[in-house]
Structure 1
């Protein structure tokens, strides 16, 4: 990134140097033309309106990326908040459950994630009903839970990849607009045959505006990405706690089944 920035700085210095070492003033007609084309102000809107079409496309694209960034922040914040509340509620309801049957009653309808975990535990227990006391049952249920957790991680992080893209490419896209604008400034100097600052300054300002918008889009995107990554990690930790709570409940059922089987063998031997 250093070389493009060096090119930008050198270009601006070259333009200003040309202004300071300019030859004798131009003809009265040329000076009048320059005065007539001099903008009354250099507000952001004026610079955007007067910018080259390519620079305008760059600015609009970066502004749309910024809008998408803030939209993702709002949507993901709401999604994570609701998901955390559901998981914490489920953990609280399972804290007193002694077995899967009580867990199903405690959770009721439940949400998608909770029902997926409970459904996998129930399914594996039924499939292993003839070997319910075997140690492998618990490991198989844990493997099913791990798959559900991975799927939930992918789901909760969906959309945040755009933030990483905006954060990493935004400054370079803005820099492209700046370089293009400075090229147009050189072309304008050549056509006008003057280095008058009234001709040079608007082009430089318009070019630098593209870089400013690129930074405006990229910096929040990086901060929001990091914020959502921390929030997602905290939520996935709660999901892990939920699956651990269900696995402990399954373990109790397995121990009871093993104890019952051992008791039946003793009675049969007697």
Structure 2
């Protein structure tokens, strides 16, 4: 037994405002899925690159040689590489000057790496605010379409003398589709946001730990240089 209500027909016969709500939710859903796939690749790549760089960094390779190798790369350095380059570049600049103490050298390098850290975290967090927005407002947009559709259905129902369920059912059904679309847009966005936010937090912790360890290494080198002078 086939139902008299067709999903596509309900959307096409819906009021203009409800159709605009549905179109908005579809657009938000498509945009959020595009960001989800993009962020998944970027954040996943950042985690892998960080692990590979840490292996190279702790392999005992000379820091000057590592800096030269990274500086001549065609692609722009990101993640820990960008932080290392920023820190070592500042360290080398202070080392060549007549800086009075190792503390001032490390203060400058630490500041440079902190700026690089902020930039890298900002790159990883790009788009997450949109996912949070979609996750928070999509159900309300869908609910607005539902309320409007049900209101129109009952207004039309009040204009007839003999009301039947068959007369009001299409209007209520098309209105409920808006709520379903709102949930369809919101749920993946919320799940993705929570997952990516956690991954970015883990990556940021890894970056901060590296920054502190690298600062300690540079501090020892600066102290040894100062004593040698």
Q: In structure 1, what is the equivalent of residue 84 of structure 2?
A: 117
Partner of 1:66: 29
Flag structure 1 segments of 5+ consecutive residues without an equivalent.
1-38, 262-270
Distance in 2 separating the partners of 1:241 and 1:198: 65
Q: Is the 8 A contact 1:72 1:159 kept in 2?
A: yes
Matched residue, 2:169: 201
Could you say if the C-alpha distance between residues 132 and 122 of structure 1 is closer, same or farther in structure 2, counting changes exceeding 3 Å? farther
TM-score normalised per structure 2: 0.87
Deviation of 1:194 (Å): 2.7
Q: Return 5+ residue gaps in structure 2 as ranges.
A: none
Alignment of structure 1 residues 47-196 onto 2, 5 Å: 47-97=10-60, 100-105=63-68, 107=70, 109=72, 111-113=76-78, 114-115=81-82, 117-128=84-95, 129-131=97-99, 133-196=101-164
Contact 1:95 1:245 in 2 (8 A): no
Query: For residues 250-265 of structure 1, what are the structure 2 equivalents within 5 Å?
Result: 250-261=218-229
Aligned counterparts of 1:227 and 1:45: Cα–Cα separation in 2: 34
Inter-partner Cα distance in structure 2 for 1:72 and 1:249: 38
- Aligned twin of 2:200: 232
> Which region of structure 1 is more displaced relative to structure 2, 145-154 or 186-195?
186-195
Do the aligned residues in 2 keep the contact of 1:118 with 1:246 (CA within 8 Å)? no
Match of 1:246 among 203, 214, 220: 214
- Asked whether the 8 Å contact 1:97–1:103 carries over to 2, the reply is no
When structure 1 is superposed on structure 2, of 99-108 and 242-251 the one drifting more is: 99-108
Q: Secondary structure at the match of 2:158?
A: helix
Structure with larger Rg: 1
Instruction: Report the CA distance shift for 1:79/1:197 in structure 2 as closer, same or farther (over 3 A).
Output: same
Cα distance in 2, alignment partners of residues 164 and 41 from structure 1: 38
Distance 1:97 1:119 in 2: 20
Residues of 2 paired with 1:216 and 1:193: CA distance? 38
- How far the C-alpha of 1:182 sits from its partner, in A, is 1.1
CA RMSD of aligned residues (A): 2.3
Q: In 2 relative to 1, CA 42–132 (structure 1 residues): closer, same or farther, beyond 3 Å?
A: farther
Judge conservation of contact 1:104–1:118 (CA < 8 Å) in 2.
Answer: yes
CA distance in 1, matches of 2:202, 2:63: 26
Cα distance 1:142–1:193, how it changes in 2: closer, same or farther (>3 A)? same
Larger mean Cα displacement after TM superposition, 98-107 or 77-86: 98-107
TM-superposed CA distance for 1:69, in Å, is: 1.6
1:23-38 to structure 2, matched below 5 A, reads: none
CA shift in 2, pair 1:153/1:159, >3 Å: same
Q: Deviation string for 1:165-194 (max 9, x for gaps)?
A: 111111111111011101211221133333
Deviation at 1:116, TM superposition (A): 5.1
